[in-house]
Amino acid sequence: MVEKDLSNDKTWMRRALAHAERGLGQTSPNPVVGACVVTDDGVVVGDGAHERAGGPHAEVLALDQAGSRACGSTLYCTLEPCVHTGFTGPCTERILAAKIRRVVIAVKDPDPRVNGRGASVLRAGGIDVDVGVCQEEATELNQPFFTAVRLRRPFVILKAATSLDGKLSAKVGTRTFLTSADANRHAHHTRARVDAIAVGSETVLVDDPLLTVREEIFQERPLIRVIFDRRLRTPPTAKIFSTRGGPVIIMTSEKGVSSKAARALEEAGSTVVAVEGAGLLPMLQRLISFNVQSVLLEGGAMIHSAAWDENLVDYVQLYVTPHVLGRNGVPLLEGRSFSSTALVRRQVKVLGNDTVIEGYVHRSD
């Protein structure tokens, strides 16, 4: 059997991946997908990206742009084409009708409605199909979607800012400003790309945050703001209720949801949700029903520790600042075996006087 030369495939797949990035922060509960159509002599005749839920799929847009030139060409797509009908028809039917000769897929779609069936339908239609080109990059791009499908919970990013000596604040119950303007802008870019931002009730009481995307950064979809609050300590006068930044969901216990405090919080503009079971996992799982596939967990220390202890942290974004807060400061993940040097696919970037260190807690599959 003659082995295929896939060297050019990576070039075209990276083009498709670049198009897929256009949908980041806008497509949930759908994945981000990019596609391009390339003729045998290396001419790109069509590009496409899935940019919002309910909108056209990347493959269809690329084929529409290619028109009759798609016949006999190769289609590169960052995720296996769908074979079911949702807001749109099956992409596999459109690909077959265009008489594409070959389809190159970066990664198989874990959605049970697809999960290999898309590739099988294309092969049955006489199309040459290759799967796995730039698989790692494509998987990383869609980690929130893959996590939601496989684990039935959102992809969790633990975000924290610490002093040089690893402290989150000067002392318990004290709001402490640490990061520079450059770091703040970077953090708001991250907020604009996730589905939800979450904090514990202690953070609301101490910091009274807005939990919005600012710094003049565009965000097409409203950012869902989540408060984990089993005792319903969040005051109805909190600043979070005074903005139009997006829906506010308060996750609490079954006992708390029928209380006067719950009714007051709903009158303030929140949705109070009762969750069975202990720990953070049931609360995170419930967020799937709100089309939340990625959560930026901003604190405080107790919520960070709880997520770490339950093995729910998928990615860490740590801003290290030049301050020193001393022995009375509140440490990040106190008593736990955390080291930023152990992060997978670790990245380090200087932002003004601060440094952001980020990476995966464990290897993505």
Which positions are annotated as active-site residues? Answer: 59
Give 109's contacts (C-beta < 8 A, 6+ positions apart). Answer: 31, 79, 80, 82, 115, 118
Buried b (16+ CB within 10 A) or exposed e, 124-161: eeebebbeebbeebbbebbbbbbbbbeeebbbbbbbbb
User: Of 46, 58, 75, nearest to 22 (Cα)?
Assistant: 58
CA distance 83 to 133: 20
CA distance 295 to 105: 28
Q: Please report where in the chains the tokens 């400061």 appear, as a residue.
A: 329
CA distance 197 to 101: 44
The Cα-based distances of 73 to 50, 69, 130 in angstroms read 21, 7, 14
Written as six digits, the tokens of 353 are 């006087």
CA 164 to chain centre: 28
Residue 90, burial from CB neighbour count under 10 angstroms (0-12, 13-18, 19+):
buried
- Helix, strand and coil percent figures for the chain, each rounded to 5: 30, 25, 45
Radius of gyration of the chain (CA): 23
What angle do helix axes 7-20 and 58-66 make, rounded to 10 degrees? 110
DSSP state of 163: -
